[in-house]
Each structure stands twice: as C-alpha cells, then as structure tokens.
Amino acid sequence: LKKIVIVGVGLIGGSFALALRADTSQQFHIVGIDRDRDALDAAEQRRVIDARGDFASALPGADLVLIAVPVRQLPTTFAAIAPHLALHDSATTLVMDVGSTKCDVLAAATTHLGEHASRFVAAHPIAGRETSGVAAAEAGLFAGKNVILAPSDANTPACVTEAASWWKACGANPIVMSAAAHDAVFAAVSHLPHLLAFALVDELAARDNARQLFSFAASGFRDFTRIAGSSPEMWRDIALNNRDALLAELDAYAAKVAALRQQVASADAEGLEALMRRARTARAKWLAGDLDSFNSNGNTEAL
C-alpha cells in the first residue's frame, strides 16, 4: 500500500489520483490537502481521495507528494512542507510539481526544500482542459500525453526513473529535458502565442470603432484568439516566471514581423508567397505527424 499526498486537489491533482486508482495492479492510500474545503468535500465524495489531512500528519511516511497548486504558490508550499519531510526519513519521499515553467520552480525548490531538494523532480504534464477544479478531474486526462521531467543537478538517475514510473502508471509518456530547454520550447509554442492573442484582442477592443471591428470579426479571428480566453492570473504568472525565455521569443517574433512588414511595404510578392507557402506546408506536416523533414537539434530524451 503506497501513500500519496496530493497538495492542491483540482483538475490536475484530482486526475492524477484517479489515474492511479485506475491502475489495479497497485493499491494506494491517497490523502488530499487543500485550502478549499469544498474541493476536499467534492474529492472525498468522488472517491478521488481517501482522506484529508495537513502537512504535519500527512507527510510522514508518504511515498509521493504531488504539488498541484498554482505556480506562484510553489515557494510557500515548498517552505511549508520542508520541515515535515526533513523530520521523517526524508530520503523515501519523492516530491513533484506540475507547473508550466521549470527553471523558476527548480530555483524555488533549491531555496526552500533544503536537503530534500535532491528528492524533488520538476514535472510538467502537457494536458489541460478549458475547465478546472476537481469536478472536471478524470482518470484518462494524462493517457497518451507527454509529461516533461526537468531534473536538477541534485537528482540521481534512479530518482528520475522513479518520477517517470508514477507518470507511466497514469498512462502518460515521460520525456526528460533540461529546465532551460523546457522553458525555451514552451515560451515559443505556448507562452508567446498566448501573449500575442491577448495583445490583439486588447488592441482592437480599445479602439474608437471597437464595436464595428468586432461586428465583422469572423471564425479566423475566433480561433486565433481562443487562447485569449485563458486565465489572466495563470498567464500573468507564467509570463513573469518564464520571463527571460519569453522576452527572447518576443524579440525574435518582433524581428520576424518587422521583416514581414518590409516585404509588404516593398510589395515583395514572391517573398510573401514563399513565406506563406513554407508556413502552410510546415503546419500541414505537423498536423499529419510528419516531422521527419524538420531540423532536429535540441535535447529531448524519452523515458
């Protein structure tokens, strides 16, 4: 019987618990910790958790602590759990997070987890929903999805393998990358597009003729700006927690758009069509799962 503590019983924490329960080859005792009593009530009713607890009573003897709180609450959460881990055979308890940024999380773990930092493995499951909360949790949320593990220098290979095994038990596909590579990749393919979508909607909504503009916006605009419907608090934090990588992406994109502007200004029909054709072809290959012709530098290791 393995003991698991879920700190933050929401969509991700709850789905992790349900996914483990679906693995009938093992048995788990799952304790939930949350500041939100309603979330704990709902989690108990759905049998997502077996019991609720607090750090002092729940952490001793735990095999795994999964911290699934908003990223900005990670430093204080690390600081809160550290004393209880240190007092009770800390070498046996593995700790993971689920945040969208990784360099900042590793730094916070080093600062606040003390000697237990070597047993913390930073993780980012690439799975989400428009909905949130434990009511939306489901056992299959991670099935077939990638989970990035970003080991620190203090982690042993055995510790990373152990972290990966938990995600495999959830049906996910663990992949090891450095925290820096993770943050650079997601700055480019996720954090930048989110900021660009927020910026376009805010720019047009502030215009004198905003009503006219939006009355003619159609399905292309709707899809381009879908991610501007995301949580302001969460994306504010991601932008600030991954600031350096995001600034590099904002600069690269600004340079790209400036070059495109020059092509329009100089009526470079050939150059414009070539750019659009390259983009359409690349996107079609990506959608077809055909990445063989793409440049393949970059360190990624599947576990």
Under rule CB under 8 A, which residues in 220-259 are in contact with a copy of itself? 220-230, 232-233, 235-236, 239-240, 243, 246-247, 250-254, 256-258
Strand partners, 97: 67
Paired tokens of 64:
């795994």
Joined tokens for residue 30: 């799952």
Q: Minimum distance between the CB of residue 147 and a copy of itself, rounded to whole angstroms? A: 11
The correct pick among 135, 159, 272, 303 for binding a copy of itself (CB under 8 A) is: 272
Write out the binding residues for a copy of itself, residues 33-72 only, by CB under 8 A: none
Do 98 and 41 contact (CB within 8 A), yes or no? no
Among 35, 91, 214, 301, indicate the residue that binds a copy of itself (CB under 8 A).
Answer: 214
Is position 261 an interface residue for a copy of itself (rule: CB under 8 A)?
yes
- Identify which of residues 24 and 216 has a Cβ nearer to a copy of itself in the complex: 216
Residues 281-300 that bind a copy of itself (CB under 8 A): 282-284, 286-287, 291, 294-298, 300
Q: Compare residues 30 and 164 and give the one whose CB is closer to a copy of itself.
A: 164
| Size of the residue set binding a copy of itself (CB under 8 A) | 90
Stretch (H or E) spanning 202: helix 192-205
Residue 194 near a copy of itself by CB under 8 A? yes
If the CB atoms of residues 60 and 146 are measured against a copy of itself, the closer one turns out to be 146
Q: List Cβ neighbours of 271 (8 Å cut-off, separation of 6 or more).
A: 263
Residue 86, classified by CB atoms within 10 Å of its CB into exposed (0-12), middle (13-18) or buried (19+), is: middle
Q: Which is nearer to a copy of itself, 30 or 122 (CB)?
A: 122
Is residue 167 a contact point for a copy of itself (CB under 8 A)? no
Nearer to a copy of itself, 40 or 195 (CB): 195
Least spacing, CB of residue 224 vs a copy of itself, in Å:
5
Please give the Cα distance from 23 to 171 (Å, whole number). Answer: 9
Put the strands of the sheet holding 64-67 in their side by side order: 51-52, 28-33, 2-7, 64-67, 94-97, 120-125, 146-150, 173-176, 301-302
Query: x-or-dash pattern for a copy of itself, window 91-130, by CB under 8 A?
Result: -----------------------------------x----
Contact call for residue 198 and a copy of itself (CB under 8 A): yes
Q: Out of 160, 189, 288, 303, point to the residue binding a copy of itself (CB under 8 A).
A: 189
Identify any residues that bridge with 3 across adjacent strands, giving them in sequence order: 29
Return left, alpha or beta for 289; rule: phi > 0 is left, psi -120 to 50 is alpha, else beta: left
Count Cβ atoms below 10 Å from residue 84 Cβ, excluding itself: 20
Output the smallest distance, CB 226 to a copy of itself, in A: 5
Q: What is the chain's Cα-based Rg?
A: 22
Residue from the set 24, 25, 131, 215 that interacts with a copy of itself by CB under 8 A: 215
Q: Where would I find the H helices in the chain?
A: 11-21, 37-45, 55-58, 74-87, 103-113, 157-169, 179-186, 192-205, 210-215, 219-224, 232-241, 243-265, 269-287
For residue 136, state whether it binds a copy of itself (rule: CB under 8 A): no
What is the token pair recorded at 222?
A: 């709707």
Binds a copy of itself by CB under 8 A, chosen from 51, 56, 91, 199:
199
